[in-house]
Structure 1
Amino acid sequence: MDLLEALEYIRPDDLDYQEWVNVGMALKQEGYSVKDWDDWSRADSRYHNGECEKKWQSFNGSASPVTAGTIIQMAKDRGMTFRESKELGWDDEIAFEQGNIGVTACEGVKFHEPANWNPVNEIVTYLETLFDSSENVGYVTETYKKNCNGKIKYSPTQGNCDRTAGELIAALNNCDGDISNVFGDYKPEAGAWIRFNPLDGKGVKNENVTDYRYALVESDCMALEEQNAIIRELELPVAVLVYSGGKSVHAIVKIDAANYDEYRKRIDYLYNVCRKNGFEIDKQNRNPSRLSRMPGVIRNGKKQFIIDTNIGKSDFSEWKDWVESINDDLPDLENLADFFQNPPELAPPLIDGILRQGHKMLLGGPSKAGKSFGLIELCVAIAEGTKWFGFQCTQGNILYVNLELDRASCFHRFKDVY
């Protein structure tokens, strides 16, 4: 499989130094480039420009190389699953991938900055919508500079998680409008971030998440109005919709998973439906401890603010049922009582007394019983409108498929049987 797809499940800042090196060694062993490793590593706050290239040159092979299996296992430990092929039994279910509900060409929906923008109200509304008062909230206002292809970028630190939503709301209501007294100063060039799932107060990694309640949906490669429109057309169960102050809107979507494994499966389903409907989302947002943009702050001259709350379906289960009901491709149910006295006309026969047009028939028997010759005789009988084993056939065109014979043998056999 593509190891870069597996890396989407692995956050570099979740790994220790040796695990990070192992990823690089595995990528080189399997023929990937240093750029692949470097691009993935940039998501880590510990990233240093040029370090990947330096380490890469030191990977000169060994008797026991680190291989793709290392990355695959890391990804599996973080929720990646595989579909294993197997023979189907008679009672097995064949499930079709669904999700395209036809909103790819929807018209953009504009949104506007609130007329009376109040930072305290923005953040309090966000906290009250997403958290119980007793739950710890992670947030980040401190940043550090990174040089990304010649451009200075501000990246968030790990931030804080030592206060509950109730404590933060109480402090905000008593800060006289100065949110820096609550969260600390932030750089207006960078804005501020907040984690949308509750934490245990001991850290900000996935293992510190106490409830897999929400997921982040965003895209940096679509017009803002188009993002807003598709989110609404898809009826995503959005708790809070926030303008990031940049190129995207952040939809905090209700997931309500019982555990991490279910969270990743629901994320996969959510992202797949978005992708099928033209919403090219950022796949780096799969993690439950992910940061999102905090409303109520300034980012590079633009306000980060709440666009809407509690839109779309009420929860994930209702939304999923709705999606699957739209494109299940099943006919409407019919009541036998409506047709009992006047049933619909039967299809005309193809083989009198045996098979009607539009029906299917399987010809079975032991080896050398004459199945192949019998089938060729049926082809001849239908092509000429004659009898097959004494049963009259309706004349029609024939398509014969044989995956065993070569072309010349097939023609000869038809001539001989005829």
Structure 2
Amino acid sequence: MENKMDLIPLLKYIDPAMLDYQEWLNVGMALKTEGYTAADWDSWSVSDSRYKTGECFKKWTTFEGNGITGATITQMAKDNGWQPKYLSDENAHELDWNDEISADADYKFIDKNWIEGKEIVEPVHWNPVSEITRYLEALFQSTDNVGYVTETYAITDEETGESIYKPTKGASDRTAGQLIEALNKCEGDIGSVLGDYKEEAGAWIRFNPLDGKGVKNENVSDFRYALVESDNMAIDKQNAILRELELPIAVLVHSGKRSIHAIVRVDAPNYDEYRKRVDYLYNVCKKNGLSLDNQNRNPSRLSRLPGIVRNGKKQFIIDTNIGKADWEEWHEWIEDLNDDLPDIESLEDVFENLPELSPPIIEGILRQGHKMLIAGPSKAGKSFSLIALSIAIAEGVKWLNWQCTQGRVLYVNLELDRPSALHRFKDVYQAMGLRPNNIRNIDIWNLRGKVVPMDKLAPKLIRRAQKKGFTAVIIDPIYKVLTGDENSAEQMAHFTNQFDKVATELGASVIYCHHHSKGGQGGKKSMDRSSGSGVFARDPDAIIDLVELELSEDILKQQAEKVTCEVYSNAIKQVNFNYFDENVGPDDEQSVSQMYTHAKRILTDPAIAARAEAEISRAVQTINMRSAWRVEGTLREYPKFEAVNMWFQYPVHRIDETGILKDIKLDEPSKPSWKQNFDKKKSPEEAKKARNDAVDAAYEACSIDEEITIKAMAEYMGITERTVRNRIKEHGEFDINEGNVTRKEK
């Protein structure tokens, strides 16, 4: 909602009870178009006697592409008495030079009511020439034209009847060098250099150099200084505040009356920047107790000239070169003072009374309010894992190997269309064997096709989730909202800072996934596998990394034999448990041939035998289709955990309870690619055997269908149908008839 009007306050001007049905719908459509929630519409509608629970949420899903915008709500509110702020403000007017543009930041850090005044001492040895020369040398270069005024004209004050002296335009035809040279030769007669002045009035000088052609703003040749003057408090307090503010003051002058004139360095490159800097300067001063005259903003403004006597009071230099060295240093200092960073604290003050740690959301892995990255290659099932994590938190059950604390989850879906995302949640619930007792704890924000960069998404997310009480926010996947070059540390630091904002504002854990870099990952640490800048490794509080394990033919064969034995065992038990108990020993249960013999003896019913064979075929196909993974981690808050091995069997990951994956070593990319290929090169006999084994495996995997086709085997093997035909011909034990494959009878 950045840079948009907040429509919620406008709804107070619109009574739902006074609207007809279509007008009520229009409000809902406008809210949805502008990015609000059904809850916003529902909260406003509840005051109507016609209100029906749940109706807003039901209608909300039908509001797609309606074309009705927030302007509808704005007009309705106007019709009922609402006015925009700029119209309702009595002081509203077109901005002028003398107007102040206030900043959003609160730059107040001085309380003038508590600050002690700093005394100003009038000079004992009065030397007007020295005062003026010192002023010129402090502000000007020798070649700068200087504007000054000693001549005045009088006007009568209507209230007191007294004469008030006003300065004329004065002179600007001489440079600072020429004036200093003349002053040094005048033997104290400054009137002979600058012209005589009236002691009732004093004299003035322009603090910025001029072009010698006039004394207006357009004649200023260099926008170096601005005037800060306040005459609504005691002189000593003005002096104290100016110093406390660390203003980069070139010269501080006593006006000879009730104010101090601070000539402040702004060093603006042009007039527009000068105005911006003076706006900023005046805003800071006003926030800290100095009430300033807006007319003093002008770069050609006159200030009091030191070395002059005014009504018996000296105009003199109080100090030079105080505060920060220049504008940039002062501006940075002010911004640092007004950041939202916490104060520095002493360990001694809290050592015996330490704050409580955030509670764990994933036991032994992640605390609430912290950040976690799940990294892995493509097709590792990262999204399914994040959906399973959402469900585990919502239900308060285990995720993979770790217990989750029950809480509320927001799943930000950036990749899947809405139906696919919702179906996946149901599929994962069923695959996990869980009843959806706490699905109210899961909210889904579907943003496919409506994604914006993360720095724009973060404030929108925070606004919508602020009052929902989420324990965790899961963002999947982050490449959709990535801003900048992922190999740039600076740009990725800005990107990941958005996760900090979400976590801090919502008090929720932020969990997201990222992809691996290219190439083998076995020789790398878990924190170094993510693609892009090392920021991805240093930023999260926990990294869960998935690396695929390469399954050998022996492991696949072992798994197939194991599941075959299990199916035969279960079938025999159901038909004749006594036979199983008396005749099938532990060794038999591990042998496919022995279990096949027992099955042939007991499973005499062809239908039962066929069901067992079909179940074996499906189980073997599942084994061939599933992948194996090792989970490693890098943790900031907890000790490192032992690697966890698991299977990804669509749509969930399951812990490997057999231990068969424990001894598989990760690929080691230490050798050059040419050497790896050389080492892996097979003999012609080995290559032929591998091709034949692949044909056998594909045939068995596709045997779940009534007809085994060339097309099915090609899809399974990931090669063309023509290549499958060639390999079947080479194999020699299969026939092909009109695209169907059958095994030759021995």
Letter in 2 for 1:263: Y
1:263 partnered with 2:274: yes
Q: For 1:157 and 1:305, locate their aligned partners in 2 and report how far apart those are by CA, in whole Å.
A: 22
The C-alpha deviation readout for 1:17-71, integer Å capped at 9, x for no partner, is: xxxxxxxxxxxxx9xx9xx9xxxxxxxxxxxxxxxxxxxxxxxxxxxxxx96xx5
The match for 1:117 is 126
The C-alpha deviation readout for 1:125-154, integer Å capped at 9, x for no partner, is: 000000000110000000111123334211
1:134 partnered with 2:143: yes
SS of 2:197's equivalent in the other structure is: coil
Q: For 2:411 and 2:292, locate their aligned partners in 1 and report how far apart those are by CA, in whole Å.
A: 49
Letter in 1 for 2:339: D
The C-alpha deviation readout for 1:326-356, integer Å capped at 9, x for no partner, is: 12012489xxxxxxxxxx9442559972599
TM-score by length of structure 2 reads 0.36
The match for 1:329 is 340
Q: For 1:225 and 1:209, locate their aligned partners in 2 and report how far apart those are by CA, in whole Å.
A: 32
Question: What residue ranges of structure 2 are gaps of 5+ in the alignment?
Answer: 1-86, 345-355, 362-367, 369-389, 397-403, 419-436, 443-466, 470-746
The match for 2:217 is 206
Q: For 1:310 and 1:280, locate their aligned partners in 2 and report how far apart those are by CA, in whole Å.
A: 23
How far did 1:162 drift? 0.5
1:353 partnered with 2:393: yes
How far did 1:96 drift? 4.9
Residue number among 103, 107, 110 corresponding to 1:99 in the alignment? 107
1:388 partnered with 2:443: no
Contact 1:138 1:199 in 2 (8 A): yes
Residue number among 235, 238, 247 corresponding to 1:236 in the alignment? 247
Q: For 1:209 and 1:390, locate their aligned partners in 2 and report how far apart those are by CA, in whole Å.
A: 67
The C-alpha deviation readout for 1:73-125, integer Å capped at 9, x for no partner, is: xx3xx597979xxxxxxxxxxx9524222353311111011010100000000
Q: For 1:116 and 1:101, locate their aligned partners in 2 and report how far apart those are by CA, in whole Å.
A: 37
SS of 1:230's equivalent in the other structure is: helix
The aligned runs of 1:202-351 (5 Å cut-off) are 202-331=213-342, 345-347=357-359
SS of 1:194's equivalent in the other structure is: strand
CA shift in 2, pair 1:390/1:361, >3 Å: closer
CA shift in 2, pair 1:363/1:102, >3 Å: farther
Q: For 1:128 and 1:270, locate their aligned partners in 2 and report how far apart those are by CA, in whole Å.
A: 24
Contact 2:110 2:289 in 1 (8 A): no
CA shift in 2, pair 1:262/1:79, >3 Å: farther
CA shift in 2, pair 1:81/1:227, >3 Å: closer
Greater C-alpha radius of gyration: 2
Query: Would you tell me which structure has more helix in proportion to its own residues?
Result: 2
The match for 2:166 is 155
SS of 1:173's equivalent in the other structure is: helix
1:197 partnered with 2:247: no
The match for 1:52 is none
SS of 1:171's equivalent in the other structure is: helix
Higher relative contact order (CA 8 A, sep 6+): 1
Q: For 1:295 and 1:330, locate their aligned partners in 2 and report how far apart those are by CA, in whole Å.
A: 43
Letter in 2 for 1:250: H
Letter in 1 for 2:285: C
Contact 2:250 2:320 in 1 (8 A): yes
Q: For 2:147 and 2:320, locate their aligned partners in 1 and report how far apart those are by CA, in whole Å.
A: 20
Q: For 1:179 and 1:254, locate their aligned partners in 2 and report how far apart those are by CA, in whole Å.
A: 27
How far did 1:279 drift? 1.2
CA shift in 2, pair 1:322/1:361, >3 Å: farther
Q: For 2:300 and 2:250, locate their aligned partners in 1 and report how far apart those are by CA, in whole Å.
A: 17
TM-score by length of structure 1 reads 0.62
Which stretch shows the higher mean deviation, 235-244 or 278-287? 278-287
Letter in 1 for 2:150: T
The match for 1:39 is none
Q: For 1:208 and 1:136, locate their aligned partners in 2 and report how far apart those are by CA, in whole Å.
A: 10
Percent identical pairs in the alignment equals: 57
Q: For 2:194 and 2:110, locate their aligned partners in 1 and report how far apart those are by CA, in whole Å.
A: 43
Letter in 1 for 2:393: G
